[in-house]
């Protein structure tokens, strides 16, 4: 199995305010204003906590790696970089478990239709990240990663949590078996891993909603 890549180089911020001062000239003001205000998004404080905990880093790409021409455009060079562990779980009939939506602490509902995923800590082995994801989001301890199922891919796309902030996701995916889950229908679980976000008055997930769907080969 692989370990998460270390951020290069990490940029530290002493407070959410210092982070805001740094990103304000690099992103559109209306994009930043939408964080935590638009339902389903996270706040600037959430981003600061991600960086402090090592779950995410901010990277400034050299201008030679962008298509920017003429006047310098800092917004085009800023990336949120996240290593993510994803877990494909099947029931006995071959259906895949996906998270249909989440209930957030501010009462908003965020729709997902994704398999179980978890942001990884710096240098964290995939096995540990997968076990943590199952424990915190499904409330289970028994997980077995299927041999030979590990794959890695890199995705660059707009961030759903932070509109206007481009993101690079280094995705470490495995197939696995988890004991004790309902084998049919829909169910929900309580989030058990975001106590720190709650203490810091950031937006966090309260509850996860799951369902089994036919595996069409495109579920990620």
Mean pLDDT, to the nearest integer, of 90-101?
Answer: 93
User: Is 2 within a domain?
Assistant: no
Average of per-residue pLDDT across 20-45: 94
pLDDT of residue 6: 46
When divided into structural domains, the chain yields a total of 1
Q: Which whole number is the average pLDDT over 126-149?
A: 95
Tokens of 43: 């706040």
The reply to whether 218 falls in a domain is no
pTM score: 0.84
**Residue 73's pLDDT band (boundaries 50, 70, 90)?**
very low
Range of the domain at 130: 16-213
Kindly state whether residue 219 falls inside one of the protein's structural domains: no
Contact 176, 151 (CB under 8 A): no
Q: How many CA atoms lie within 13 A of 201 on its CB side?
A: 1
Condensed to tens digits (0 to 9), the pLDDT of residues 197-211 reads 777 788 999 999 999
CATH of the domain at 70: 3.90.79
In a domain, 9, yes or no: no
Query: pLDDT digits over 112-126, tens only?
Result: 999 999 999 999 999
pLDDT digits (tens, 9 = 90+) for 187-196: 999 999 877 7
Is 6 inside a domain boundary?
Answer: no
Residue 28 in any domain: the answer is yes
Instruction: Express each pLDDT in 160-182 by its tens digit.
Output: 899 999 999 999 999 999 999 99
């Amino acid at each position: 199995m692989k370990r998460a890549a270390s951020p290069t180089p990490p940029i530290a911020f002493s407070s959410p305010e210092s982070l805001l001062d740094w990103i304000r000239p690099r992103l559109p003001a209306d994009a930043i204003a939408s964080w935590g205000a638009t339902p389903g998004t996270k706040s600037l404080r959430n981003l600061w906590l991600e960086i402090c905990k090592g779950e995410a880093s901010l990277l400034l790409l050299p201008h030679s790696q962008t298509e920017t021409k003429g006047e310098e455009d800092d917004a085009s060079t800023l990336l949120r970089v996240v290593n993510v562990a994803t877990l494909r779980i099947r029931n006995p009939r071959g259906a895949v478990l996906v998270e249909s939506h989440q209930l957030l602490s501010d009462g908003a509902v965020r729709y997902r239709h994704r398999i179980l995923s978890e942001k990884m800590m710096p240098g964290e082995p995939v096995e540990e990240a997968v076990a943590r994801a199952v424990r915190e989001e499904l409330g289970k301890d028994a997980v077995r990663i299927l041999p030979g199922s590990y794959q890695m891919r890199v995705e660059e796309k707009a961030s759903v949590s932070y509109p206007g902030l481009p993101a690079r996701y280094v995705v470490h995916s495995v197939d696995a078996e988890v004991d004790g889950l309902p084998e049919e229908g829909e169910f929900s679980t309580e989030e058990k891993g975001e106590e720190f976000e709650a203490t810091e008055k950031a937006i966090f997930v309260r509850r996860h909603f799951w369902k089994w769907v036919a595996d069409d080969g495109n579920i990620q």
